[in-house]
Structure 1
Amino acid sequence: MIKLAIVRQKYRPDGGAERFVASALSALSQQKAEQQQLDITVLTRQWNGIKNPSVHIEVCNPFKWGRVSRERGFARAAQKHFSSFDIVQSHERIPGCTIYRAGDGVHKCWLEHRSRIIPEAQAKRMKNDRFHRYVMDAEKQMFEHPKLKAVICISEMVKREIIREFDIDESKLHVIYNSVDSNRFTPTLRDQFRASIRSSLGITDSATCLIFVGSGFERKGLAEAIKAVAKAGAELIVVGKDKSESMYRKLAEAEGVPDRVHFVGVQERPESYYAAADGFILPTIYEPFGNVVLEAMASGLGVITTPTCGGSDIIQSGKNGYICDALDSNSLAEAVSHFCSTEKALMLGKEARKTAEQHSPQRLGHELLKLYGNVLR
């Protein structure tokens, strides 16, 4: 019996890392039942995620009074439990874990990419910020810690960044892609939801409509998505939340498309909104992979994203989507224009679905179990 701890500070229903943990736990607990070899515990501050009687929840919730205190306090509380397990798989930057899943990429690289879209003075302040310095230091300690046996890189992009930034043996780095539930996210939902969702938003059946899914609009490129659909004459459904939503509504007005950009907030069933769209757009400035890429592809949508999105690993430009620079609105608009052809949009979506079907939870569970076996050996 392998005693496995999975460390995630807090569960957010719309969070990509949380969805990965939930799907991994589901796959692992199923294989556990078949093979009787895993005892799984989640170390967390707060968990409202997957309810599974075979998964134990250990709450580590020390007092916090700021961002650095929050991160450091949880790390120290979780570390106290590490010696009780054979393998500690952390989804947080905590030195001393056995396996780290680099779901957030490399913090230094994120700051460098963000510097492209903010004023120079703000970028300089950001790099000297106490919280960012804490995260970069914790990251370095973790990646170079002798107890770290393996890193789950969620894309080739993340693997390259880790090799470039840290003193770590490349043999510890394993690219294991996210998975998607292809029964939940499926093109068959189009018949059930397309007409009703479009009607509720005032989108005609003949209109070309793309969908953007994600909270944190600045990093994920909503501004460029709005500009691109405006230039291409398309409509956009925005699923997610951001404290600066009003700013993006004003941008839609400035671009002359306030009635063609539809903000619907966070949705518990995003699959119904994928079903209403013709394509998916995520012009992110930095995204280590993006579960939403796989969700969209499984839903039968071609994907427009960027080279700084790890999900671009599985995009073949012109076949199941397009890859454009995050700040090149002309290139993005040209990609959007391909979806104005119903035939082309359906072809892209068909190929995208084939790609997504290769990334099943069962495959993820198998790859994780193989990694655990290698680590224990």
Structure 2
Amino acid sequence: MKIALIHKKYTTHGGTERYMVGLSKFLVKKGHEVHVITGNIDESSKSEGITYHLVPAWGKHLGIDKHIFAQSAKREVKKHNFDIIQSFSRLGFGDVIRIGGGCHQVFLDKYLSSLENPLYKFKKKLEYKLSLQDFFTRYYEAEDFKKGNYKKIVAVSQMVKDDIIKIYDVPENDIIVNHNGVDIEKFNPNNKNKFSQEIRNKHDLSENDYVLLFLGTGFKRKGLKYVLESLKNTKSAKLLIVGKGDIDKFKSKAEELSVLDRCRFIGPVREVEKYYAAADVFVFPSIYDPCANVTLEAMASGLPVITTVDNGASGVIENKKNGYILDRPDNIKKMVEYIKRLEDTDLRESFSENASHKMQKHGKKDNYQKMLDIYIKIF
């Protein structure tokens, strides 16, 4: 098949972008003619056997880059006779449209409701209402879901599928759920024997310490505040904090809660698999995530997970078998209860085995193959 993949950036930085790069390479290996239509190409991400079409995507400082790219991509598509057109949402067209970022309105509602300062909340609401960027995000998202603009919608979680049906009244049978895939060779329980001692020694943690891991970009939206508040109510747990965020702000919060001595603020790291290996439990009370890859990576690494219903990846978790699902991110009482339960080594080992076993069916290649099966079905 002659397949077009369309997204504003082609790079290995960013979840959707990495996914597109991986899918394009997979399709080439399967013998298909792959064309990438994009507004920005990272040369180091390019691969042989793929034809790249660079189209205009200017105007970010004006808030019109989404509009410019959508129209440019549509014109480029009309020049060719593609068998399958795959877009990665908010373009308003595509045979297959993958919704990796969830529904914008749901994100906004969750984000704004998490803001505690009423004046700041009002300011952010006003900014969104006056933003051209936000206007075009809403416009093209709505266009995606109009009958006739797609053949199949692919949602990255059941949560996202439910949101699409609720907000845009898309028929249930038009939407297929295909959870994000994980590199199960890179993220696996065997890493514990390879890397745990190295990382624990590096960050002054003993072999017998009970270690929680929080990993993510954007500490506020991922719920780090609630993890720190829960840590205050546990006596012995230590916390590794990995990722990009306002470290100084959250160090101050940890100090205010008298838990800074039990926290290790690491910052961004390249070899995240080593930090999963060094931890006992992954704690991720996200305010909103369509399908957080870190949740799936943690499970593949053999970690029990504590997360929220507002993380689409919770749909992969079997509650009380390989993890715990909170009804809301600020449910500190329940989070503390679950953290304390998982101090039990036997329970933790059972959850660990169940988690890694579950993820054997959620490898990257499984995900890519499911996408290809969708193409074949509608071709």
- Scaled by the length of structure 1, the TM-score of the pair is 0.91
For the 8 Å contact 1:208–1:339, the answer to whether it is kept is: no
Higher relative contact order (CA 8 A, sep 6+): 1
Instruction: In structure 2, give the amino acid aligned to 1:240.
Output: G
User: Out of 38, 45, 56, which is 1:43 matched to?
Assistant: 38
Kept in 2, the 8 Å contact 1:16–1:290? The answer is no
Select between 122-131 and 283-292 the one with higher mean Cα deviation: 122-131
Which runs of 5 or more residues in structure 1 are unaligned? Answer: none
Say if 1:176 and 1:221 are closer, same or farther in 2 by CA, change over 3 A. Answer: same
Structure 2 residue runs of 5 or longer lacking an equivalent are: none
Residue 227, structure 1, aligned to residue 229, structure 2: yes
Aligned partner of 1:210 in structure 2 is 212
Cα deviation 1:122-171 (Å, max 9, x = unaligned): 45325524132331122112211623111111111111110111143332
Contact 1:45/1:74, CA 8 A, preserved across alignment: no
Pairwise CA distance, 1:285:
0.8
* Counterpart AA for 2:265: F
3-state secondary structure, aligned to 2:302: coil
- Between the aligned partners of 1:194 and 1:337, the Cα distance in structure 2 is 21
Q: Which one of the candidate residues 307, 315, 318 is aligned to 1:316?
A: 318
Separation of aligned partners in 1, 2:43 and 2:241: 25
1:1-377 equivalence runs, <5 A: 2-10=1-9, 13=12, 15-30=14-29, 32=30, 36-41=31-36, 43-47=38-42, 50-66=45-61, 68-83=63-78, 84=80, 85-118=82-115, 119=118, 120-122=121-123, 124-130=125-131, 131-144=133-146, 146-232=148-234, 233-242=236-245, 244-324=246-326, 325-376=328-379
Give the secondary structure class of the aligned counterpart of 1:4: strand
CA distance in 1, matches of 2:10, 2:219: 20
Please state whether the residue corresponding to 2:154 is helix, strand or coil: strand
> Which range moves more in the overlay, 92-101 or 194-203?
92-101
Distance in 2, Cα, partners of 1:55 & 1:271: 30
Query: 2:2 is aligned with what amino acid?
Result: K
Q: Which aligned segments of 4 or more residues in structure 1 are displaced greater than 4 angstroms?
A: 11-14, 48-51
CA apart distance, 1:44: 4.2
Measured in 2, the distance between the counterparts of 1:230 and 1:14 equals 35
Tell me the percent identity: 29
* Contact 1:96 1:145 survives alignment (8 Å): no
Q: Determine the C-alpha separation between the residues in 2 that align with 1:126 and 1:331.
A: 35
CA distance in structure 2 between the aligned counterparts of 1:289 and 1:49, rounded to whole angstroms: 27
Rounded to whole Å, the distance in 2 between the matches of 1:336 and 1:11 is 39
User: Structure 1 pair 45/227, CA: closer, same or farther in 2 (3 Å)?
Assistant: same
Post-superposition shift, 1:12? 6.0
Asked if the contact 1:180/1:360 (under 8 Å) is kept, the reply is: yes
> CA deviation digits over 1:295-349, x for unaligned, max 9?
1111010111101111111112221000012111221122122232222222211
Give how far 1:229 is off.
2.5
Distance in 2 between residues matched to 1:248 and 1:12, nearest whole Å: 30
Match of 1:24, SS? helix
User: Alpha-carbon deviation of 1:47?
Assistant: 2.8
1:86-123 per-position Cα deviation (integer Å, ceiling 9, x unaligned): 22212241112222111110000111111221134245
Superposition CA RMSD, Å: 2.1
Paired with 1:70 and 1:236, the residues of 2 have a C-alpha distance of 40
Three-state SS of the structure 2 residue aligned to 1:308 is coil
Q: Is this contact kept in 1: 2:199–2:278, CA < 8 A?
A: yes
**Cα distance, 1:363–1:258 mapped onto 2, change above 3 Å:** same
Query: In terms of mean alpha carbon deviation, does 129-138 or 99-108 score higher?
Result: 129-138
Distance 1:46 1:263, change over 3 A: farther
Contact 1:46 1:61 in 2 (8 A): no
